Amino acid sequence: MQYALMIYTEPGYFETLSEADRAEVRAGFDALAADRRRVVGAQLQPAETATSVRVTGGRMLITDGPFADTKEVLGGFALIEAANLDEALEVAAAIPAARFGGVVEVWPVVAR
């Protein structure tokens, strides 16, 4: 099965970490990038750089920023292939954001 791991982080949190913790965070994301179960993924630019688009009555409405306004913002995502939810949860738990003030959501992907 494929799962989308949505990685939410608190902006500025990384900067508050010690050098050792920062090294651990980088190593954790490197490990995810190298994981053979990862199909695709990306780290996102800060939320201030995001733009929302919606189309009503044929007109494109453009607004600044992401839709949600919470403390934690979407900081990246990964699409992974896993045997079942338990394996997907394990991959998610290994993502540094899960233990450094963020959260990782695990969503099953619609099979096509």
Residue 38: alpha-carbon gap to chain centroid? 13
Any contact of residue 112 with another protein (CB under 8 A)?
A: no
Q: Are strands 2-9 and 38-43 parallel, antiparallel or unpaired?
A: unpaired
Any contact of residue 15 with another protein (CB under 8 A)?
A: no
**Taking the complex as a whole, how short is the minimal distance between the CB of residue 94 and another protein, in angstroms?**
12
8 Å CB contact between 111 and 18: no
How big is the CA angle at 35 (ends 28 and 7), to the nearest 5 degrees? Answer: 55
Any contact of residue 1 with another protein (CB under 8 A)?
A: yes
Any contact of residue 89 with another protein (CB under 8 A)?
A: yes
- Distance (Å, rounded) from C-alpha 15 to C-alpha 12? 5
- Distance (Å, rounded) from C-alpha 79 to C-alpha 72? 20
Any contact of residue 108 with another protein (CB under 8 A)?
A: yes
Size, binding site for another protein by CB under 8 A: 12
Question: Residues 15, 19, 64, 86: which binds another protein (CB under 8 A)?
Answer: 86
Footprint of another protein on this chain (CB under 8 A)? 1, 3, 82-86, 88-90, 106, 108
